Amino acid sequence: MTAVTVGGIDCGTNSIRLMIATVSENGMTVEVPRIMRVVRLGQDVDKTHRFDDEALARTYAAIDEFSAVLKEHPVDALRFVATSATRDAENRDEFEDAVQSRLGVRPDVIPGTEEAALSFLGATSVLESQDGPHMPPAPYMVVDLGGGSTEMVIGGDGVEAPADHPVAAFSMNIGSVRMSERHLVSDPPTRQQIDEAIADIDAHIDEAFATVPAGRTGTLIGVSGTVTTMSGIAMGLREYDRDAVDGAIVTVDDARTTCDRVLRMTRAERAEYQVIHPGRIDVIGGGALVWNRVLARVRDAVHEDSGRELNSYVTSEHGLLDGIVLNLGRRLLNS
């Protein structure tokens, strides 16, 4: 077997995505570009620890749509990965049963560490075609900022360990939906709400830094809808352009200024920005605050560790979903 066609579904707290690709020894070729639907599966899960019936209905509608696509594009294998919201939901069995009845596969509710490793695989896989002066310096720190959780994972330095090999990972229970629902409940948020959210975020980052040596970061790579949206706004895009954002290098200062501005906007003001997906308007402030703190803390850690300045990061459209598909394809090829 020299190539396999596989499908991957990434079911997160805010959105669900499908991608179909052919995987071979030479890499991955996308057959059906990623399809993304904002379903807010994690609505109120932080508070109730249960899936809301309306959230389940929205998610099932997207899954039925994905099922129709998969019937038109048969695959050798399909993996459905569920993350933060499903990990926390007490009634997740109901959800898992419904997915299996619709797709014929049961969701893999993966731990945060595996989510981090797959995000790292997806983000770094696109670097394999670069070399020489175009290759970003290792170690790579990949941050996947989701709706319910944020993963930090750092790879080797390319000497003692391969640059594309994760050496430390941590999953924090902070994300755009979770922070917005837990703290930023006013429109716009109050100073006290922001301060309480910052304290919450920083406590989680402290815990992550005890496991992940952030000070060694050579290149910071940010993935997920929050990061790509903040990058798009910082770049001055009038509407979202995936090709323009993917691989874009954004300065930390520009991104932090953008994050702070978006955080303090009203929902109506955010709705005027075509760069922001309509399904993110009410929670992007929480994500912006998480990304702002991650940028500040990683930059400080690098400076404290080595005196180097981490002035920018790489924006990537390749993360968990790419990692799911690539990992599944490689396992089939090696079986």
Asked if the model's pLDDT at residue 240 lies above 60, the reply is: yes
Co-location of 150 and 273 in the same domain: yes
251 token code pair: 């300065």
Query: Which pLDDT belongs to residue 132?
Result: 52
Q: What is the CATH number of the domain that holds 84?
A: 3.30.420.40
Asked if the model's pLDDT at residue 99 lies above 90, the reply is: yes
Q: Tens digits of per-residue pLDDT, 43-74?
A: 999 999 999 999 999 999 999 999 999 999 99
Co-location of 158 and 89 in the same domain: no
Q: Is residue 117 part of a domain?
A: no
Distance CA 60, CA 129 (A): 37
- State the chain's mean pLDDT as an integer: 94
Co-location of 35 and 152 in the same domain: no
Q: Is residue 118 part of a domain?
A: no
Point out the domain boundary residue: 61, 86, 111.
111
Domain range for 26 is 3-111
Q: Tens digits of per-residue pLDDT, 169-200?
A: 999 999 999 999 999 999 999 999 999 999 99
Q: Is residue 241 part of a domain?
A: yes
Beta pairing class for 312-316 and 219-223: parallel
Co-location of 178 and 276 in the same domain: yes
Query: Which pLDDT belongs to residue 112?
Result: 86
Co-location of 133 and 104 in the same domain: no
Co-location of 141 and 232 in the same domain: yes
Asked if the model's pLDDT at residue 126 lies above 80, the reply is: no
Q: Tens digits of per-residue pLDDT, 276-315?
A: 999 999 999 999 999 999 999 999 999 999 999 999 999 9
Distance CA 234, CA 229 (A): 9
Do residues 179 and 202 make contact, with C-beta atoms less than 8 angstroms apart? no
The total number of structural domains that make up the chain? 2
Q: Is residue 326 part of a domain?
A: no
Distance CA 325, CA 317 (A): 14
Query: Which pLDDT belongs to residue 166?
Result: 92
Q: How confident is the model at residue 133 (pLDDT cuts 50, 70, 90)?
A: low
Asked if the model's pLDDT at residue 127 lies above 80, the reply is: no
What's the chain's length in residues?
335
Q: How confident is the model at residue 220 (pLDDT cuts 50, 70, 90)?
A: very high
Q: What is the CATH number of the domain that holds 267?
A: 3.30.420.150
Co-location of 240 and 91 in the same domain: no
Q: Is residue 45 part of a domain?
A: yes
Q: Is residue 22 part of a domain?
A: yes
Co-location of 134 and 170 in the same domain: yes
Query: Which pLDDT belongs to residue 130?
Result: 54
> What is the rounded radius of gyration, in angstroms, for the C-alpha atoms of the chain?
19
Co-location of 96 and 164 in the same domain: no
Do residues 299 and 217 make contact, with C-beta atoms less than 8 angstroms apart? no
Co-location of 260 and 148 in the same domain: yes
The pTM of the full predicted model, rounded to 2 decimals, is 0.93
Asked if the model's pLDDT at residue 92 lies above 80, the reply is: yes
Is there a cis peptide before residue 188, judged by omega within 30 degrees of 0? yes
Q: Is residue 324 part of a domain?
A: no
Q: What percent of the chain has pLDDT over 70?
A: 98
Q: How confident is the model at residue 138 (pLDDT cuts 50, 70, 90)?
A: very high
Co-location of 165 and 296 in the same domain: yes
| Helix/strand/coil for 24 | strand
Asked if the model's pLDDT at residue 11 lies above 80, the reply is: yes
- The better pLDDT of the pair 74, 163 is held by 74
Co-location of 74 and 133 in the same domain: no
| Burial class, 26, CB count within 10 angstroms (exposed 0-12 / middle 13-18 / buried 19+) | exposed
Type and span of the H or E element at 109: strand 108-109
Q: Is residue 325 part of a domain?
A: no
